[in-house]
Structure 1
Amino acid sequence: MSPTPTPQQSAWLDQDDARVADVIRRHGVCLQLIGMGTCSVPGCTCSAESKRPFAYTIGLFGIAHPELVIVGVGMPEVASVLNSAARLVLDGARLTPGENVVLPCWDRRIFVEEVPNPGDIAFGANRHYQRPAEASVPLLQLTYTDNRGRFPWDPRYTGARRRQPRPGEWDAR
Protein backbone atom coordinates (compact mmCIF):
# COMPACT_ATOMS: atom_id res chain seq x y z
CA MET A 1 0.00 0.00 0.00
CA SER A 2 1.25 3.50 -0.77
CA PRO A 3 2.37 5.80 2.11
CA THR A 4 -0.66 8.05 1.58
CA PRO A 5 -3.79 5.92 1.31
CA THR A 6 -6.29 6.60 -1.43
CA PRO A 7 -9.84 7.47 -0.32
CA GLN A 8 -10.86 3.87 -1.06
CA GLN A 9 -7.96 2.53 1.04
CA SER A 10 -8.82 4.92 3.89
CA ALA A 11 -12.44 3.73 3.87
CA TRP A 12 -11.27 0.12 3.84
CA LEU A 13 -8.84 0.77 6.73
CA ASP A 14 -11.64 2.37 8.77
CA GLN A 15 -13.88 -0.65 8.17
CA ASP A 16 -11.04 -3.06 8.96
CA ASP A 17 -10.23 -1.20 12.20
CA ALA A 18 -13.88 -1.57 13.24
CA ARG A 19 -13.88 -5.27 12.29
CA VAL A 20 -10.71 -5.99 14.31
CA ALA A 21 -12.09 -4.17 17.36
CA ASP A 22 -15.40 -6.04 17.07
CA VAL A 23 -13.71 -9.45 16.78
CA ILE A 24 -11.55 -8.68 19.84
CA ARG A 25 -14.63 -7.59 21.80
CA ARG A 26 -16.49 -10.77 20.91
CA HIS A 27 -13.67 -13.34 21.05
CA GLY A 28 -10.84 -11.71 23.01
CA VAL A 29 -8.45 -11.92 20.09
CA CYS A 30 -8.36 -11.39 16.33
CA LEU A 31 -6.03 -13.30 13.99
CA GLN A 32 -4.03 -11.47 11.34
CA LEU A 33 -3.20 -13.91 8.52
CA ILE A 34 -0.41 -13.04 6.09
CA GLY A 35 0.34 -14.88 2.85
CA MET A 36 -2.56 -17.32 3.07
CA GLY A 37 -4.93 -16.06 0.41
CA THR A 38 -6.19 -13.03 -1.40
CA CYS A 39 -5.43 -9.51 -0.27
CA SER A 40 -8.52 -7.43 0.43
CA VAL A 41 -6.87 -3.99 0.51
CA PRO A 42 -8.19 -1.86 -2.39
CA GLY A 43 -5.49 -1.23 -4.98
CA CYS A 44 -3.02 -3.65 -3.39
CA THR A 45 -0.70 -5.34 -5.87
CA CYS A 46 1.07 -7.61 -3.40
CA SER A 47 1.32 -11.32 -3.90
CA ALA A 48 -1.18 -12.68 -1.40
CA GLU A 49 0.25 -16.22 -1.49
CA SER A 50 3.57 -16.72 0.25
CA LYS A 51 6.14 -19.45 0.65
CA ARG A 52 6.40 -18.30 4.27
CA PRO A 53 2.88 -17.67 5.52
CA PHE A 54 2.49 -16.44 9.06
CA ALA A 55 -0.19 -15.27 11.42
CA TYR A 56 -0.34 -13.39 14.69
CA THR A 57 -2.83 -12.40 17.31
CA ILE A 58 -4.20 -8.94 17.94
CA GLY A 59 -5.78 -8.39 21.33
CA LEU A 60 -3.46 -9.95 23.90
CA PHE A 61 -1.45 -6.75 24.32
CA GLY A 62 -4.67 -5.20 25.63
CA ILE A 63 -4.47 -7.55 28.62
CA ALA A 64 -0.72 -6.88 29.16
CA HIS A 65 0.58 -9.96 27.32
CA PRO A 66 2.74 -10.10 24.18
CA GLU A 67 0.98 -11.01 20.95
CA LEU A 68 1.67 -14.50 19.53
CA VAL A 69 3.04 -15.28 16.06
CA ILE A 70 3.51 -18.54 14.20
CA VAL A 71 5.33 -18.97 10.89
CA GLY A 72 5.02 -21.54 8.12
CA VAL A 73 1.73 -23.13 9.14
CA GLY A 74 -1.26 -23.14 6.81
CA MET A 75 -4.95 -23.09 7.43
CA PRO A 76 -6.68 -24.60 9.38
CA GLU A 77 -3.78 -25.41 11.77
CA VAL A 78 -2.77 -21.77 12.20
CA ALA A 79 -6.22 -20.77 13.44
CA SER A 80 -6.47 -23.76 15.75
CA VAL A 81 -2.98 -23.26 17.26
CA LEU A 82 -3.21 -19.48 17.71
CA ASN A 83 -6.76 -19.60 19.06
CA SER A 84 -5.81 -22.38 21.52
CA ALA A 85 -2.66 -20.58 22.70
CA ALA A 86 -4.56 -17.29 22.98
CA ARG A 87 -7.30 -19.05 24.98
CA LEU A 88 -4.64 -20.12 27.52
CA VAL A 89 -3.63 -16.46 27.91
CA LEU A 90 -7.20 -15.19 28.02
CA ASP A 91 -7.89 -17.75 30.75
CA GLY A 92 -5.03 -16.36 32.84
CA ALA A 93 -1.85 -18.14 31.71
CA ARG A 94 1.33 -16.21 30.90
CA LEU A 95 3.42 -17.61 28.07
CA THR A 96 7.09 -16.81 28.60
CA PRO A 97 10.20 -17.17 26.43
CA GLY A 98 11.84 -20.55 26.93
CA GLU A 99 8.61 -22.28 27.86
CA ASN A 100 7.49 -25.53 26.22
CA VAL A 101 3.78 -25.66 25.48
CA VAL A 102 1.58 -28.57 24.49
CA LEU A 103 -1.81 -27.72 23.03
CA PRO A 104 -4.58 -30.34 22.92
CA CYS A 105 -5.44 -29.31 19.36
CA TRP A 106 -2.03 -30.15 17.86
CA ASP A 107 0.34 -33.09 18.01
CA ARG A 108 3.48 -30.93 17.89
CA ARG A 109 5.34 -29.38 20.79
CA ILE A 110 5.76 -25.61 20.87
CA PHE A 111 8.69 -23.61 22.21
CA VAL A 112 7.97 -19.95 23.06
CA GLU A 113 10.58 -17.43 21.85
CA GLU A 114 10.84 -13.66 22.08
CA VAL A 115 10.83 -11.85 18.72
CA PRO A 116 13.50 -9.10 18.69
CA ASN A 117 11.99 -7.19 15.75
CA PRO A 118 8.22 -7.04 16.34
CA GLY A 119 7.89 -3.64 14.63
CA ASP A 120 8.89 -5.31 11.35
CA ILE A 121 6.10 -7.90 11.65
CA ALA A 122 3.08 -6.83 13.72
CA PHE A 123 1.77 -4.02 11.51
CA GLY A 124 -1.90 -4.78 12.20
CA ALA A 125 -1.42 -5.02 15.97
CA ASN A 126 0.56 -1.79 16.00
CA ARG A 127 -2.16 -0.10 13.96
CA HIS A 128 -4.82 -1.35 16.38
CA TYR A 129 -2.90 -0.12 19.44
CA GLN A 130 -1.71 3.02 17.63
CA ARG A 131 1.96 2.27 18.27
CA PRO A 132 4.86 3.16 15.98
CA ALA A 133 7.21 0.37 14.87
CA GLU A 134 9.94 1.55 17.24
CA ALA A 135 7.53 1.11 20.20
CA SER A 136 5.90 -2.01 18.81
CA VAL A 137 3.70 -4.38 20.73
CA PRO A 138 5.89 -7.31 21.82
CA LEU A 139 5.67 -10.64 20.01
CA LEU A 140 6.33 -14.21 21.08
CA GLN A 141 7.05 -16.70 18.30
CA LEU A 142 5.53 -20.15 18.70
CA THR A 143 8.25 -22.40 17.28
CA TYR A 144 7.06 -25.94 16.65
CA THR A 145 8.59 -29.35 16.10
CA ASP A 146 8.76 -31.35 12.89
CA ASN A 147 6.76 -34.58 12.61
CA ARG A 148 9.54 -36.40 14.51
CA GLY A 149 9.49 -34.02 17.48
CA ARG A 150 12.62 -31.99 16.60
CA PHE A 151 12.89 -28.21 16.72
CA PRO A 152 14.49 -26.18 13.87
CA TRP A 153 17.81 -25.80 15.73
CA ASP A 154 18.26 -29.59 15.86
CA PRO A 155 20.60 -30.72 13.03
CA ARG A 156 18.25 -33.66 12.35
CA TYR A 157 15.21 -31.37 11.93
CA THR A 158 13.29 -32.55 8.85
CA GLY A 159 11.08 -29.50 8.27
CA ALA A 160 11.90 -26.69 5.84
CA ARG A 161 13.95 -24.20 7.87
CA ARG A 162 13.08 -21.37 5.49
CA ARG A 163 9.38 -21.88 6.31
CA GLN A 164 10.08 -21.54 10.04
CA PRO A 165 12.98 -19.11 10.43
CA ARG A 166 14.50 -18.19 13.76
CA PRO A 167 13.13 -15.10 15.55
CA GLY A 168 14.94 -12.00 14.31
CA GLU A 169 15.88 -13.61 10.98
CA TRP A 170 12.67 -12.67 9.19
CA ASP A 171 10.18 -9.86 8.81
CA ALA A 172 6.90 -9.14 7.06
CA ARG A 173 8.38 -7.15 4.21
Structure 2
Amino acid sequence: MCQRCEEPERPEEERYLIEVLDQIRENGWCVQGVLGTGSRPSWAYTAGLTAQGLPELVVTGLLPHHAARLLNAAAEQTLHTGPPVPGEQWLLPRLPKLEIVQLSAPAAHLHIAVCCYGAGIEARQLVYADSAGRFPWSPQYNSGRGGQPVLGVRHA
Protein backbone atom coordinates (compact mmCIF):
# COMPACT_ATOMS: atom_id res chain seq x y z
CA MET A 1 0.00 0.00 0.00
CA CYS A 2 1.27 3.51 -0.76
CA GLN A 3 1.82 6.37 1.72
CA ARG A 4 -1.19 8.23 0.33
CA CYS A 5 -3.54 5.32 1.16
CA GLU A 6 -1.93 4.48 4.51
CA GLU A 7 -1.90 8.04 5.87
CA PRO A 8 -4.40 10.22 3.96
CA GLU A 9 -4.24 12.98 6.62
CA ARG A 10 -0.49 13.50 6.20
CA PRO A 11 0.45 16.50 3.96
CA GLU A 12 1.38 15.57 0.37
CA GLU A 13 4.94 16.99 0.59
CA GLU A 14 5.62 15.07 3.81
CA ARG A 15 4.36 11.81 2.24
CA TYR A 16 6.57 12.42 -0.77
CA LEU A 17 9.60 13.09 1.44
CA ILE A 18 9.01 9.79 3.25
CA GLU A 19 8.96 7.99 -0.13
CA VAL A 20 12.20 9.74 -1.13
CA LEU A 21 13.89 8.74 2.14
CA ASP A 22 12.76 5.15 1.64
CA GLN A 23 14.25 5.16 -1.86
CA ILE A 24 17.51 6.64 -0.53
CA ARG A 25 17.71 3.94 2.17
CA GLU A 26 17.09 1.26 -0.44
CA ASN A 27 19.38 2.55 -3.24
CA GLY A 28 21.82 5.00 -1.59
CA TRP A 29 20.39 7.99 -3.49
CA CYS A 30 17.49 9.00 -5.69
CA VAL A 31 17.19 11.33 -8.66
CA GLN A 32 14.84 14.31 -8.54
CA GLY A 33 13.75 15.98 -11.75
CA VAL A 34 12.43 19.52 -12.16
CA LEU A 35 10.63 20.31 -15.42
CA GLY A 36 11.58 23.50 -17.19
CA THR A 37 9.13 26.28 -17.90
CA GLY A 38 9.25 28.64 -20.87
CA SER A 39 12.87 29.66 -21.37
CA ARG A 40 14.04 27.92 -18.18
CA PRO A 41 15.44 24.44 -18.98
CA SER A 42 14.78 21.35 -16.87
CA TRP A 43 17.29 20.16 -14.30
CA ALA A 44 17.76 17.06 -12.18
CA TYR A 45 19.82 16.21 -9.15
CA THR A 46 20.63 13.48 -6.67
CA ALA A 47 19.46 13.34 -3.08
CA GLY A 48 21.21 10.93 -0.74
CA LEU A 49 24.91 11.25 -1.54
CA THR A 50 25.25 13.78 1.29
CA ALA A 51 24.53 11.00 3.81
CA GLN A 52 27.54 9.15 2.38
CA GLY A 53 29.85 12.14 2.80
CA LEU A 54 29.69 13.10 -0.87
CA PRO A 55 28.35 16.15 -2.71
CA GLU A 56 25.02 15.86 -4.50
CA LEU A 57 25.17 15.91 -8.31
CA VAL A 58 23.21 18.17 -10.68
CA VAL A 59 22.66 18.29 -14.42
CA THR A 60 20.71 20.93 -16.38
CA GLY A 61 19.03 21.04 -19.79
CA LEU A 62 18.36 17.31 -20.32
CA LEU A 63 15.13 15.38 -20.67
CA PRO A 64 14.33 13.51 -17.43
CA HIS A 65 15.31 10.01 -18.63
CA HIS A 66 18.65 11.25 -20.01
CA ALA A 67 19.34 13.19 -16.82
CA ALA A 68 18.55 10.16 -14.65
CA ARG A 69 20.85 7.92 -16.71
CA LEU A 70 23.71 10.41 -16.44
CA LEU A 71 23.19 11.09 -12.72
CA ASN A 72 22.91 7.40 -11.81
CA ALA A 73 26.13 6.58 -13.70
CA ALA A 74 27.94 9.52 -12.12
CA ALA A 75 26.67 8.66 -8.62
CA GLU A 76 27.98 5.09 -9.04
CA GLN A 77 31.33 6.49 -10.21
CA THR A 78 31.44 8.88 -7.24
CA LEU A 79 30.87 6.02 -4.80
CA HIS A 80 33.87 4.19 -6.27
CA THR A 81 36.30 7.07 -6.84
CA GLY A 82 35.27 9.73 -4.33
CA PRO A 83 33.82 13.18 -4.86
CA PRO A 84 34.23 14.80 -8.27
CA VAL A 85 36.71 17.67 -8.20
CA PRO A 86 35.73 21.01 -9.77
CA GLY A 87 37.57 21.45 -13.07
CA GLU A 88 38.03 17.70 -13.51
CA GLN A 89 36.80 16.10 -16.73
CA TRP A 90 35.10 12.71 -16.72
CA LEU A 91 34.52 10.17 -19.44
CA LEU A 92 31.83 7.67 -18.49
CA PRO A 93 30.80 4.85 -20.83
CA ARG A 94 28.18 5.85 -23.43
CA LEU A 95 27.86 9.39 -22.05
CA PRO A 96 29.17 12.75 -23.30
CA LYS A 97 32.37 14.18 -21.88
CA LEU A 98 31.69 15.92 -18.55
CA GLU A 99 33.35 18.74 -16.67
CA ILE A 100 32.71 19.22 -12.96
CA VAL A 101 31.58 22.64 -11.67
CA GLN A 102 31.01 23.54 -8.00
CA LEU A 103 27.48 24.90 -7.48
CA SER A 104 27.44 28.47 -6.15
CA ALA A 105 24.13 28.09 -4.25
CA PRO A 106 23.07 24.42 -3.99
CA ALA A 107 20.15 25.15 -1.65
CA ALA A 108 18.51 27.27 -4.37
CA HIS A 109 18.25 24.30 -6.75
CA LEU A 110 18.10 21.09 -4.67
CA HIS A 111 14.87 21.42 -2.67
CA ILE A 112 14.45 17.74 -1.73
CA ALA A 113 18.13 17.34 -0.76
CA VAL A 114 17.79 20.44 1.43
CA CYS A 115 14.66 18.97 3.07
CA CYS A 116 16.65 15.81 3.84
CA TYR A 117 20.02 17.26 4.89
CA GLY A 118 19.69 21.00 5.46
CA ALA A 119 20.77 24.12 3.56
CA GLY A 120 24.49 23.42 4.05
CA ILE A 121 24.61 20.69 1.40
CA GLU A 122 27.36 20.64 -1.18
CA ALA A 123 26.75 19.95 -4.87
CA ARG A 124 28.65 19.59 -8.12
CA GLN A 125 27.21 20.14 -11.58
CA LEU A 126 27.97 17.65 -14.31
CA VAL A 127 28.39 19.95 -17.30
CA TYR A 128 28.26 17.92 -20.51
CA ALA A 129 29.81 18.61 -23.90
CA ASP A 130 27.68 18.88 -27.03
CA SER A 131 28.05 16.41 -29.92
CA ALA A 132 31.08 18.40 -31.20
CA GLY A 133 32.81 18.18 -27.79
CA ARG A 134 32.21 21.85 -26.86
CA PHE A 135 31.12 23.00 -23.40
CA PRO A 136 28.59 25.80 -22.63
CA TRP A 137 31.35 28.36 -22.06
CA SER A 138 32.16 28.11 -25.78
CA PRO A 139 30.13 30.51 -27.97
CA GLN A 140 29.74 27.62 -30.47
CA TYR A 141 28.24 25.26 -27.86
CA ASN A 142 25.08 23.64 -29.23
CA SER A 143 25.41 25.73 -32.40
CA GLY A 144 24.96 28.90 -30.32
CA ARG A 145 21.54 27.84 -28.99
CA GLY A 146 22.59 27.30 -25.35
CA GLY A 147 20.22 25.17 -23.30
CA GLN A 148 22.51 24.12 -20.45
CA PRO A 149 22.75 26.73 -17.68
CA VAL A 150 25.89 26.45 -15.57
CA LEU A 151 25.00 26.94 -11.90
CA GLY A 152 28.47 27.86 -10.66
CA VAL A 153 31.80 29.31 -11.72
CA ARG A 154 34.02 27.16 -13.90
CA HIS A 155 37.26 26.13 -12.21
CA ALA A 156 39.76 26.94 -14.96
TM-score class normalised by the smaller sequence? 0.7 to 0.9
Q: 1:75 to 1:105 in 2, by over 3 A?
A: farther
Q: Does residue 108 of structure 2 align to residue 124 of structure 1?
A: no
Structure 1 segment 1-173 matched on structure 2, within 5 A: 11-35=11-35, 51-106=40-95, 108-129=96-117, 131-132=118-119, 136-158=120-142, 160-161=145-146, 163-168=147-152
Instruction: Tell me how large the CA RMSD over aligned residues is.
Output: 2.2
Rounded Cα–Cα distance in structure 2 between residues aligned with 1:9 and 1:151:
47
Shift of 1:50: 7.2
1:54-103 superposed Cα distances (whole Å, 9 cap, x missing partner): 00000111111110000001032111100000011223432111110111
Name the aligned partner's letter for residue 22 of structure 1: D
TM-score (norm 2): 0.83
TM-score (norm 1): 0.76
Q: 1:167 to 1:9 in 2, by over 3 A?
A: farther
Name the aligned partner's letter for residue 85 of structure 2: T
Name the aligned partner's letter for residue 66 of structure 2: E
Shift of 1:14: 2.1
Q: Helix, strand or coil for the counterpart of 1:32?
A: strand
Q: Where does structure 1 lack aligned partners over 5 or more consecutive residues?
A: 1-7, 37-46
Q: Helix, strand or coil for the counterpart of 1:76?
A: helix
Percent of paired sites with the same residue: 32
Name the aligned partner's letter for residue 79 of structure 2: L
Rounded Cα–Cα distance in structure 2 between residues aligned with 1:15 and 1:143:
32
1:72 and 1:164 in contact (8 A); partners too: yes
Q: Where does structure 2 lack aligned partners over 5 or more consecutive residues?
A: 1-7
1:68 and 1:141 in contact (8 A); partners too: yes
Q: 1:95 to 1:157 in 2, by over 3 A?
A: same
2:54 and 2:82 in contact (8 A); partners too: no
